[in-house]
Amino acid sequence: MNWINAIVQGVFLGGLYALFACGLSLMFGVMRIINLAHGDLAVIGAFGVWVVDTQAHLPPFIALLPVLPVMLLLGYLLHRTVLARSLRSGPLTPLLTTFGVSIVIQNALLQIFSPDVHSLGSLTGSISTSSWRVTSELSVPYLGVLILAVAVLLLGSLQFTLQYTGFGREMRATAQDPEAAALVGVPASSVYARATAIAVATAALAGAFLAIHSTFDPSSGPTQLIFAFEAVVIGGLGSLWGTLLGGIVLGIAQTIGATVDPQYSILTGHLVFLVILASPRGRFVANRSAAA
């Protein structure tokens, strides 16, 4: 029963990782870059919600509403100022610049908010603590269901946007061939900027849910980036539903590891990731080009 509980909790944890991963997956799919500041942008989102929450005394889910448009704008500006120029100077430059941005964000947050650990869990009231008790050992937390539902909804709407809307068509066209897309009147830089804006906003959403689900501090970003990346690679790069699956696999691996011994939790996740990478399928996953 313990194991079943671990798997159920792992599925919900996987929802959170999928939420983190979908922005990373989107940016990789459209621009072929890995944004190393993704986790730190999520932490900015978490701090944003925390600030609105404590200053305006709003519950976190309402405090999220003004934060998301700000993060959209931040993502747009990030692309216009840093990424657009990086993309022009070759495939390695975006890595170097986003890593630099990540260092700047972490230390700026440290300077502004001090290294204290925060959580929004206590501010959300009963939803973050209550659960449906199925049996004496198996319980289904409300928050886990909510996060998983948000993740499915977000991935579904991204998938829908990519497949059926004009903007989605523009993103797919630009992902396939930026020059050809530009020839038919789809400027890559504008598509990229909007995709980055969406990715950063989803990161902020994920950061807010992380803050409600557990704790965060200025240096939480890199860990979340690593989990998001593992989810993306386990699920197969560039496929959004694969990302959800990857997140869930990672979540289950971590909760099963934690059942054995709490200090094995993260380690088990890493090992599952490495095993998948080393498996024959790993070569396929690693070299597969994105099909957004």
Partner 1 sequence: MTTPTSPVSPTPWVVRRSSLASRIGSGALVVIGFALFGVPQVFGTNIVQQLTSLLIFLILAVMWNALAGYAGLVSVGQQAFIGFGAYGTIFMTQQGIQPYLAMIFAAIASAALAVVLSLFVLRLRGGRFAVGTWVVAETIALLISLDQAIGGGTGTSLRGLNAYPRQVRIAYTYWLTLGFTVLLLLILFLLLRNRAGVGLQAIRDDEEAAASLGVRVGRLKFVLFVLAGFGCGAAGALTLANTLFIQPQSIFGVQWSAYLIFMVLVGGLGTFEGPIIGAILFFVIQHQFADLGAWYLIGLGLIAVAFALFLPRGLWSLINDRLHIRLLPVGYHLLRRSPDASANDRGKPNP
The residue ranges that bind partner 1 (CB under 8 A) are 28, 32-34, 36, 82, 85-86, 89-97, 99-104, 106-108, 110-111, 222, 225-226, 229-230, 233, 237, 263, 266-267, 270-271, 273-274, 277-278, 282-283, 286-287
Nearer to partner 1, 61 or 264 (CB): 264
Alpha helices in 177-279 (DSSP H): 178-183, 188-213, 221-235, 240-260, 265-278
274-288: b (≥16 Cβ within 10 Å) or e: eebeeeeebeebeee
Q: What single DSSP character describes residue 288?
A: P
User: Is the Cβ of residue 95 or residue 152 nearer to partner 1 in the bound state?
Assistant: 95
Say if residues 29 and 165 touch (Cβ distance below 8 Å).
Answer: no
**With respect to partner 1, which residue has the nearer C-beta, 106 or 124?**
106
**What's the angle, vertex CA 56, arms to CA 70 and CA 114, rounded to 5?**
75
In terms of CB distance, is 163 or 279 closer to partner 1? Answer: 279
Alpha-carbon distances, residue 106 vs 10, 100, 167, 189 (angstroms): 28, 10, 32, 27
Distance from C-alpha of 26 to C-alpha of 292, rounded to nearest angstrom: 7
Q: Are 88 and 104 in contact (CB under 8 A)?
A: no
Nearer to partner 1, 121 or 222 (CB): 222
